[in-house]
Amino acid sequence: MDFLPVFLRVAQKPCLIVGGGKVALRKAEWLWRAGASVTALAPTFHPDFKQMATTGRVSLKNKAFEPKDIEGFFLVIAATDDRDLNAHVAACARRLGLLVNAVDQPEACDFILPAVVDRSPVVLAVSSGGQAPVLSRLLKTTLESLIPTNFGQLAELAGRFRSRVKQALPSPNLRRRFWEQTLKGPAGELLLSGQTEAAAEEMAKALKAASERRQATGYVALVGAGPGDPDLLTLRALRLLQEADVVVYDRLVSPEILNLVRRDADKLYAGKARAESGLPQEQINQLLVRLAREGKRVVRLKGGDPFVFGRGGEEIETLANTEIPFLVVPGITAALGCASYAGIPLTHRDYAQSCLFVTGHRQGDRPNLDWEKLVVPRQTLVIYMGLLGLEEICQALIQHGMSPDMPAALIESGTTPRQRVTVATVATLSKIAREKLAHAPTLIIIGEVVRLRAKLAWFQEKQKNFGPEIPGQREKALNFIYRKL
């Protein structure tokens, strides 16, 4: 982030615009809308400036710029069509410690003016850090269409109730939940449909009910976070993350996904890495129960899917025994995420009709697997938690009849920007993985389907090149690629 987003109070403050053209005019209008006392300085002015001056919205100083002109102002905007002059104005302003903006020269700016969606008192400001104002305006247009025009009245209604709510509901948690439920619920709906008084009545009713209830009921949502890429979260997972009071997360949950958790929510790390000493399972179970009993909305966030090698079953068992409401939200399991991001289809008409997910986790000192079931023709084998036992696993597969040339892939941190894919054979994979210092989390895919990766590798490259920044762009690119396939 190159600029810190803040909202500036300029009401009644003296603000100077250097420039008299259309660009300067637009800036003057914005300052005036925010209540500033605006002065514009230029040798000549656009006719609309004169119009603005006759209604007292701006004072005009008809002259060429000199450094002493900026004395006494709170902020200065250099908006002439002369870049050098703008830079000069910016330098003079900075010398006096004034806030300054020079149009189209982000490097000379203390602040920049964002694209604005005005639903006062709610204001959305979009900025590209001065890099691509057109992109900000495109986004602004999208937001304009998404946010009802009377959205601001919702904030006014909330303002009217604010002190009453504070009195009636002493706990900040209860208050936040009250606001979320009423603003998104019937009161909010009534207001947005223009029924202001009915909305106020509904809110008063909801407040009465909430203050009588006092203690909110908590719940636990066992949520699958997917394998890493935040784009692979389900919509429900995202919503729960943004409503949570507490998120208890695993080592596997990527930082990109943790970024999407509501900012004020507590984030508790429950660990569970093999070597690290995370909380023991029983303690995690008890923690979830305690938090929910405190009335909190708890999200137990687990990598991939909670029911695939995730011990989700054990966690809900405890919750069920204590009668705490819970729900389970599935996630994309590592096998599916890694396979698709590595360009390896798990089944294929010509190569594999079945697919088996197993855990390579050692019990005692070696992986304990039913090898006969693993070495089956036309079957893809996916091994979770297999890095540590990789060598023994590959040897055992060969001993039980798998061809040493069977293609095998090791995918590290699949679907994240750190993804690395190593393709070898069952005979060579563990040696190569050691040489490459592969580290967890890793998923192993063994089977003829791995051969298809070479064919699909270009697809994966393309997929990477279409970032998620521009809405719809990635989908378009993928459709295009699928058609080509």
**Least CB distance to ligand SAH at residue 450 (A):** 15
Q: Does 304 bind ligand SAH (CB under 6 A)?
A: yes
What is the CB neighbour count within 10 angstroms for residue 420? 15
Distance CA 327, CA 222 (A): 6
Nearer to ligand SAH, 153 or 460 (CB): 460
**Least CB distance to ligand SAH at residue 260 (A):** 16
Of 413, 422, 430, 460, the residue at the interface with ligand SAH (CB under 6 A) is 413
Of 154, 309, 326, 390, the residue at the interface with ligand SAH (CB under 6 A) is 309
Nearer to ligand SAH, 76 or 382 (CB): 382
Q: Of the listed pieces 5-13, 114-122, 408-416, 449-457, which binds ligand SAH according to CB under 6 A?
A: 408-416
266 φψ region: left (φ > 0), alpha (ψ -120 to 50), beta (else): beta
Catalytic residue among 69, 245, 250, 305: 250
- The answer to whether residue 205 is catalytic is no
Q: Does 342 bind ligand SAH (CB under 6 A)?
A: no
- Judging by DSSP bridges, how do beta strands 407-412 and 442-446 pair with one another? antiparallel
- Candidates 285, 237, 280; CA nearest to 260 is 237
Nearer to ligand SAH, 100 or 374 (CB): 374
Distance CA 406, CA 408 (A): 6
Q: Which segments within 240-351 are labelled E, that is strand?
A: 246-250, 266-271, 297-302, 326-329
Distance CA 204, CA 197 (A): 11
**Least CB distance to ligand SAH at residue 437 (A):** 16
* Residue 434 φ/ψ, nearest 5 degrees: -65, -45
Angle, CA 433 vertex, CA 428 and CA 436 arms, to 5°: 125
What does the block give as tokens for 238?
């995202």
Nearer to ligand SAH, 206 or 301 (CB): 301
Q: Does 442 bind ligand SAH (CB under 6 A)?
A: yes
Q: Does 305 bind ligand SAH (CB under 6 A)?
A: yes
Of 19, 310, 367, 389, the residue at the interface with ligand SAH (CB under 6 A) is 310
Of 49, 65, 326, 384, the residue at the interface with ligand SAH (CB under 6 A) is 384
Torsion angle defined by CA atoms of residues 50, 51, 57 and 62, in that order, rounded to the nearest 10 degrees: 0
Where helices occur in 151-268 by DSSP H, the ranges are 151-168, 172-184, 186-192, 196-213, 235-243, 255-258
**Least CB distance to ligand SAH at residue 388 (A):** 9
- The answer to whether residue 250 is catalytic is yes
Distance CA 381, CA 478 (A): 27
Q: Does 252 bind ligand SAH (CB under 6 A)?
A: yes
Q: Nearest-CB residue to ligand SAH? A: 304
**Least CB distance to ligand SAH at residue 226 (A):** 8
Q: Does 441 bind ligand SAH (CB under 6 A)?
A: yes
**Least CB distance to ligand SAH at residue 311 (A):** 9
Of 76, 77, 93, 308, the residue at the interface with ligand SAH (CB under 6 A) is 308
Q: Does 207 bind ligand SAH (CB under 6 A)?
A: no
Element (H, E) at 461: helix 452-465
What does the block give as tokens for 473?
């762009």
**Least CB distance to ligand SAH at residue 314 (A):** 13
Asked if omega into 106 is within 30° of 0 (cis), the reply is no
Asked if omega into 441 is within 30° of 0 (cis), the reply is yes
- Candidates 256, 141, 159; CA nearest to 200 is 159
* x/- letters, 258..297, toward ligand SAH (CB under 6 A): ----------------------------------------
Catalytic residue among 27, 69, 245, 272: 272
The length of the chain, given as a count of residues: 485
Name the residues annotated as catalytic.
Answer: 250, 272
Residues that bind ligand SAH (CB under 6 A): 227-228, 252, 302-305, 308-310, 333-334, 338, 384-385, 411, 413-415, 440-443
